[in-house]
């Protein structure tokens, strides 16, 4: 007889499962608690999807405050994000530069009632070929409806079409840290 | 898996799993506890396993891991189970020559180190293939084969020492 066969036969003799143990296990299986795992996953997924959709809508329509944190996680400041729908700009070329009218669409909503002055923190002026000007513009007083800020230019604009893009304003009030107001505003300018 | 299917599974493979537990522990009381714990732990998964063969291997895998955990917690267990008497052997004198041979083999297997023993029982008693054993124990198939080879040579050595010839 081969060794494998001997080992197999030697180990084949085993006692049967005690009947009581068998019955106990079958009874336990019959009375087991139903698993809620699938339901739990479905509910969690639904909640996550709802939260994400909500966040998407929120981001698109309404501005909100965000903390600015340093590398160590300490809050060092505040910004106001996604304010695109809350401000409206129009730009008109003048002799000194470009006059930008900023209208407050939600003047009663924070932070606008508390802002005394508004500056342009980041803008670019482009024509079809290149960037004509970019940088920051000092603050101008903000009224209940808005303000007008002049972007000074070193040389008058030559005829053509330009696009002014502002990505950040900066609101300030006496005794408060300046508040960056972020979004994306564009205005087309035609110089004839 | 319905209750009827579960009952059928235990009827078909229960004795195989229980026997494996008996061999592994060398003690019926411990084997009963191990068998029960393994099956209870497998409940939640059994609802999604449709193949009875896979269910058996799954329970065997749980039994192996539970026993390993037990051994870690109670260091005296492996020593005592290696020395445990072979079950159902009442009177050695009455055994036929073949029964003596089987007794010798069983003792040789029980004397193997744990790693070789679990592979030997899964292969020779539970009838698992090396690939299945590798899946149950979460080890490479090559390791299973080398352990089996070592186990065979140890058993052969023991058999030769007792005057049996092997092929």
Instruction: Break chain A into its structural domains and give their ranges.
Output: 1-62, 78-191
What the block records as the tokens of B152 is 């065979």
Confidence of residue B93 (pLDDT cuts 50, 70, 90): low
Q: B120–A7: do the CB atoms touch at under 8 Å?
A: yes
Candidates B160, B79, B74, B76; CA nearest to B114 is B79
Which range of A82-86, B3-7, B42-46 scores highest in mean pLDDT? It is: A82-86
Q: Which helix (H) or strand (E) holds A134?
A: strand A131-141
- The helices-and-strands tally (H runs, E runs) of chain B is 8, 0
Task: Provide the pLDDT for residue A38.
Answer: 60
Domain with CATH 1.10.1740 in chain B: 1-84
CATH class of the domain defined by B90-167: mainly alpha
CATH number of the structural domain A78-191: 2.60.40.10
Q: How many residues appear in chain B?
A: 167
Which residue in chain B has the smallest CA separation from A9? B102
Confidence of residue B5 (pLDDT cuts 50, 70, 90): confident
Task: Provide the pLDDT for residue A56.
Answer: 53
Cβ contacts from A onto B, under 8 A: 86
Q: What is d(CA B118, CA B148) in angstroms, rounded to the nearest whole number?
A: 10
Phi and psi dihedrals of A93, rounded to 5?
-75, 140
Domain with CATH 1.10.10.10 in chain B: 90-167
- Angle, helices B3-25/B52-73, rounded to nearest 10 degrees: 40
| C-alpha distances in Å from residue A44, one per residue of A104, A106, B31, B55, B68 | 40, 36, 40, 29, 35
What the block records as the tokens of B31 is 């084997």
CATH number of the structural domain B1-84: 1.10.1740
**Whether the predicted pLDDT of B84 surpasses 80:** no
Stretches where chain A sits below pLDDT 50 are 59
The beta-carbon neighbor of B3 closest among A17, A29, A35 is A29
- Tell whether A22 is within 8 A of chain B (Cβ): yes
The beta-carbon neighbor of B105 closest among A10, A17, A24 is A10
């Amino acid at each position: 007889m081969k060794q494998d066969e001997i080992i197999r036969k030697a180990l084949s003799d085993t006692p049967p499962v005690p009947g009581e143990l068998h019955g106990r296990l079958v009874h336990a299986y019959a009375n087991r608690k139903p698993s809620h795992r699938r339901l739990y996953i479905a509910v969690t997924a639904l909640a996550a999807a709802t939260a994400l959709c909500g966040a998407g809508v929120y981001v698109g329509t309404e501005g909100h405050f965000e903390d600015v944190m340093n590398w160590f996680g300490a809050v060092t400041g505040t910004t106001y994000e996604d304010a695109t729908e809350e401000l409206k700009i129009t730009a008109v070329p003048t002799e000194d530069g470009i006059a930008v009218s900023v209208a407050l669409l939600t003047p009663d909503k924070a932070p606008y009632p508390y802002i005394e002055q508004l500056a342009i923190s980041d803008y670019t002026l482009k024509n079809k070929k290149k960037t004509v000007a970019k940088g920051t513009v000092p603050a101008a007083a903000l009224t209940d409806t808005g303000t007008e800020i002049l972007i000074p230019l070193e040389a008058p604009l030559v005829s053509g079409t330009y696009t002014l893009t502002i990505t950040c304003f900066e609101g300030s009030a006496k005794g408060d840290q300046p508040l960056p107001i972020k979004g994306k505003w564009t205005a087309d300018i035609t110089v004839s | 898996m319905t209750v009827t299917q579960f009952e059928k599974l235990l009827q078909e493979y229960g004795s195989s799993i229980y026997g494996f537990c008996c061999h592994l522990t060398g003690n019926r009381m411990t084997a009963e506890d191990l068998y029960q714990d393994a099956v209870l732990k497998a409940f939640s998964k059994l609802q999604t396993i449709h193949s009875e063969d896979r269910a058996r291997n799954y329970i065997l895998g749980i039994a192996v891991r539970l026993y390993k955990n037990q051994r870690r917690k109670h260091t005296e267990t492996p020593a005592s189970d290696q020395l445990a008497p072979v079950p159902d052997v009442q009177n050695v004198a009455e055994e036929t020559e073949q029964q003596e041979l089987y007794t010798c083999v069983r003792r040789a297997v029980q004397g193997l180190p744990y790693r070789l023993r679990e592979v030997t029982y899964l292969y020779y008693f539970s009838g698992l293939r090396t690939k299945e054993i590798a899946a149950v124990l979460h080890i490479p198939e090559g390791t299973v084969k080398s352990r089996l080879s070592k186990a065979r040579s140890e058993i052969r050595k023991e058999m030769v020492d007792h005057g049996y010839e092997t092929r």
